[in-house]
Amino acid sequence: MNTLPERRRAPALDIAVVGGGMVGAAAALALAKAGFSTALLEAREPTPWRAGDEVDLRVVGLAPSSIELLDGLGVWTSIRDARSSPYAHMHVWDSESGAAIDFSAADDGRDLLGHIVENNLVQWTLWQALEAGGGSSGTSMGGVRRLCPADVRGFEAREDRVVLELVDGESLSARLLVAADGAASPLRDMAGIATRGRDYA
């Protein structure tokens, strides 16, 4: 972990969320709605989702609990009506062992298991919600401060806060840091947290 020089001490936010993908954007919006002062830091603006574009192959299967979360954030109806595909059966298999398992909504007495939705549609809708009620870029409204583009160069965990040092020389203090910056999380590497994984192929 990098040790940062002392600078003028800015008021600490409750929570800083680094990474504005589906998970980070949803977390920031939920935390703001719960009353926490929150900053969302993202390196690049999401690509606008347009109904006329081809269906993106990067999709997510949203289970009822995830749909309930998105509905509570006020974005599910927009996502569902824009483009989603309900599914009632799922077959999952492992390419190495040949093991497989099936999930069926009927086995649980339900009509559906969930909905398949494009990742970029979920992210874009969440960002639209953040812009509408959670704060525009660089400002603080409704509990969210959105910083984009923003790249984290390092951070230091102090007794009562975490201090983030940004590439542009600015710093940000928060009582809690959420690393939502992807599978190859730079923040995780900075913190020295090890992981194990393997390729799908």
Domain membership of residue 55 (yes or no) is yes
Domain membership of residue 1 (yes or no) is no
pLDDT surpassing 50 at residue 135:
no
Q: pLDDT for 44-56, tens place per residue? A: 999 999 999 999 9
The CATH number for 86's domain is 3.50.50.60
Domain membership of residue 172 (yes or no) is no
Query: β-strand 100-104 against 144-147: which pairing, if any?
Result: unpaired
Q: Are 93 and 111 in contact (CB under 8 A)?
A: no
Q: Going edge to edge, which strands form the sheet with 59-62?
A: 59-62, 114-118, 85-87
Higher pLDDT, 196 or 85: 85
Model pTM? 0.86
Domain membership of residue 178 (yes or no) is no
- In this prediction, residue 19 carries a pLDDT of 98
Domain membership of residue 171 (yes or no) is no
Residues whose CB falls within 8 Å of the CB of residue 41, separated by 6 or more in sequence, listed in order? 16, 17, 18, 19, 20, 147, 148, 150, 152, 164, 166, 172
Q: pLDDT for 100-112, tens place per residue? A: 999 999 999 999 9
**Domain total of the chain:** 1
- In this prediction, residue 11 carries a pLDDT of 62
The domain in which residue 77 lies consists of 27-160
